[in-house]
Amino acid sequence: MKKLLILTDFSPAAHNAGLYALHLAQELKHSLILCNCWLSPTEAPGVAQVAWPLADDRLIKREVADQLKAEAKKLTEKRHEPGQLFPDLFNPPLACISEAGELTEVLAKITEDQPIAMVVMGLSGAGSLERLFIGSHTKNVVNKATYPVLLVPRDFIFRPIRRIAFATRLDKGDIAVLHSLAGLTKAFQAEIDICHVSDEKFEEGEDKFRADIFMSELCARVNYANIHYHHIKSMDVDHGLDWIYEHSQTDLVVMVHQHHGFLHRLFARSHTQQLAKHIDLPLLVFPPAEVLPCNADSQTRRCPDKTRRLPQPLN
């Protein structure tokens, strides 16, 4: 059984992300892992010369374990509240993991050892990224992830996913990502809007030809009918993404995190309010297709210098 990994720092934003993940797990029939990552005081900057008792590490581990149990109890209790979730649906098992270490390294180990479909994180509603764990930011997870990362705004209330906006520059690698996304869309019977965001340099003939080729290959390789193409021409990609959030009536926005792409530019800015402005809806961030885990039962596809298989679907 595949699993959704919920990262928590026990904040309201992380709790809301846990509720969202609980809904997804019910629909997808996945199990859940609630995870908190903490740094041992011996690993914190400035304490290299300080002798830190091992008993203090054990105390922190016990305290975190108690907090995880309490948070897991709050989440499972929500399953049975009228109007909250759907008690007749699949009741996902929920396990807890507490690990000491740097966040991205701990995540790399967990996702290597277990069938994690996606990592779920909360975002604050205060116009800045929620600071998760000691010395770690959401951007570190997204920048280093080899798995999909779902960012859930603190105040967003779950609703069934009926429409998904997939922002693309028509890169061929995005077709493999859409193959993986199809598992999620089939579970909700959702529509996918392929939103081709281009700037003022868009060439009507050449780029339309690229769009036709992209959609033709997409339909041949992704067996899903409810996919629609939209061209969004704007002064720049940032304003085009504003249009998606404001006019597409979507329930989930999906992007691929490319180096030097839109998300890379936003995460690189010192004023993270710019990112919060673009995340009024849940944002599912895929790594580039070449670093996604592969499904051995899928057809092979040719990439530069190597042959890889299509990534696992999220169902």
CA atoms within a 13 Å half-sphere pointing along the CA-CB vector of 11: 20
The helix/strand/coil state of 1 is coil
Average pLDDT, the chain: 76
pLDDT digits 0-9 by tens, 158-198: 999 999 999 888 888 899 999 889 888 988 999 999 988 77
Task: Could you list the beta-strand ranges (E) of the chain.
Answer: 3-7, 31-38, 94-100, 116-123, 149-153, 163-168, 191-198, 227-233, 252-256, 283-286, 300-303, 306-309
Strands (E), 102-247: 116-123, 149-153, 163-168, 191-198, 227-233
Q: Are 299 and 310 in contact (CB under 8 A)?
A: yes
pLDDT tens profile 216-274: 999 888 888 899 998 887 655 566 666 776 766 889 989 888 755 555 555 554 333 44
> What residues have CB less than 8 Å from 225, skipping those under 6 apart?
none
Q: What is the pLDDT of residue 123?
A: 80
Whether the pLDDT of residue 64 is over 70: the answer is: yes
pTM of the model: 0.81
